[in-house]
Structure 1
Amino acid sequence: MKIALLGYGKMGKTIEKLAIERGHTIVIKADVGTAYDITEADVAIDFSVPQAAFGNISNCLNNGVPVISGTTGWLEDYDSAVELCHTKKGAFIYASNYSLGVNIFFELNKTLARMMRTLTQYKVSMEEIHHTQKLDAPSGTAITLAKGIIEESNYKNWTLDTPKEDEIGIVAKRIENVPGTHEISYTSQVDTIDIKHTAHSRDGFALGAVIAAEWIIGKKGVFSMKDVLNLNDY
């Protein structure tokens, strides 16, 4: 499989290493301003920057190249990307986090939120920690987790400020050399229930992106990691 890496930072380099180990070829390594012909690739993996993501995705879809995007901070254009994918009969996956463990954690989070819905004595909160180079706060993963709780509960929104009664409070910390930690807590006067995912390296995120790229070849439509991991029955 010939892969285009759109964004060649730390994540792009990790994806390159794991993709080559799995027998694939990297034919494009592009950063902002790099000229390239996307049609040289069988699939593109976008881990670029927010201002470049939609342009990268559009270029792929306009040229019939399936695209996997893990860039966060560009989602005001997500619906346009979905519309373009359908118009061009292309293939597209966006995920805030490609780690296989995190995507299982997403489903665990929603299941717990559903169980806690009527237990109003518990107040939910979240903490996420990432490396100091991460540009957005809260993380895309934290936002996905918050949306999962909102779907299954009476909470209406999330906030980085002091939360109102119907808001999920998120604390975002930036600490050197932390790949990513997300912890959700349900706290009452008598006890606390915590669920937590801790990444030990970028390899988990990168491997999930490569697996998604392998999976999407030959498919048409807009998909998620639930499709890739066959989690839709949970």
Structure 2
Amino acid sequence: MRIALIGYGKMGKAIEQIAISRGHRIDLIIDQNNQEDLCKENLKNIDVAIEFTNPQSALNNYQTCFDANIPIVSGTTGWLEHLPEVQLKCENGSGFFYASNYSLGVNLFFELNKKLTELMAPFKEYNIDMEEIHHIHKLDSPSGTAITLAEGIIKNHPIKELWIEGMSSEAKEVSIYSKRHGSVPGTHTITWHSEVDQISIQHQAYSRKGFALGAVLAAEFMPKKQGFFGMKDLLNL
């Protein structure tokens, strides 16, 4: 498979290593120094693009790939206010795969979070907090993973209606505490607490390799596909 790698930071380099180890080719690398090389001509022999950049450039990157009829796997977060535009493109024949987190473990954690929420929903004496910790270079806050976890809670709990960053005393709100320390790849902890006890679940990433592998597996899933896909499609969850 011939891959265009859009974004060549630490994640991009980790994806490159895993893709090559699985027998794929990186035929185009785009970073901040050669953004002009992302064009229809350079994409004509590409099977799939993997995009890990930033919210400011992501939409333009998607549009260029859509124009070249190249399916995209994106791990960029912080752009979801424009999600309807991307979904419309997919309805018109484009292929797009998005996940707030490509770790296989995290996506299993998403399902565990939903199941625990369903179990806790009848017990109004419990409230919930979430803490997410990432490295100091993480651009968005809260993380896309934390937002996905919060949305999973909101959809499966009769009282919770929205999430906020920071402390809340409102029963309808899910509090998310965001911390940035050192080079932490990502730790997410969800705690249900009452006056007498608490229940916590946690996912802790040890390195970027888990995220990179998931992105490459998504890229292997996407060639010649049309529509909007995510990790549930890849993992049959």
Fold shared, TM-score > 0.5 on shorter chain? yes
Name the aligned partner's letter for residue 73 of structure 2: I
Give the alignment partner of residue 37 of structure 2, picking from 32, 35, 38: 35
Identity rate, percent: 52
Q: What does residue 137 of structure 2 align with?
A: 133
5+ unaligned residues in a row in structure 1: which ranges?
Answer: none
Separation of aligned partners in 1, 2:66 and 2:231: 19
Detail structure 1 runs of 4+ shifted over 2 Å in the superposition: none
Deviation at 1:220, TM superposition (A): 1.7
SS of residue matched to 1:45? strand
Q: What does residue 26 of structure 1 align with?
A: 26
5+ unaligned residues in a row in structure 2: which ranges?
Answer: none
- Give RMSD over aligned pairs: 1.0
SS of residue matched to 1:109? helix
Deviation at 1:167, TM superposition (A): 0.5
Post-superposition Cα deviations, 1:63-91, rounded to whole Å, max 9, x if no partner, equal 1111001000111111101101221x121
Query: Which deviates more, 156-165 or 169-178?
Result: 156-165
Deviation at 1:162, TM superposition (A): 2.4
Q: TM-score normalized by structure 2?
A: 0.95
Are positions 1:53 and 2:33 aligned together?
no
Aligned residue pairs, count:
230
Q: What does residue 15 of structure 2 align with?
A: 15
Query: Does the CA contact (< 8 Å) of 1:58 and 1:84 recur in 2?
Result: no
Name the aligned partner's letter for residue 194 of structure 2: S
Q: TM-score normalized by structure 1?
A: 0.96
Give the alignment partner of residue 199 of structure 1, picking from 199, 205, 208: 205
Q: What does residue 236 of structure 2 align with?
A: 230
Query: Does the CA contact (< 8 Å) of 2:167 and 2:177 recur in 1?
Result: no
Q: What does residue 189 of structure 1 align with?
A: 195
Q: What does residue 173 of structure 1 align with?
A: 179
Give the alignment partner of residue 146 of structure 2, picking from 128, 131, 142: 142
Give the alignment partner of residue 111 of structure 2, picking from 93, 107, 112: 107
Deviation at 1:221, TM superposition (A): 1.2
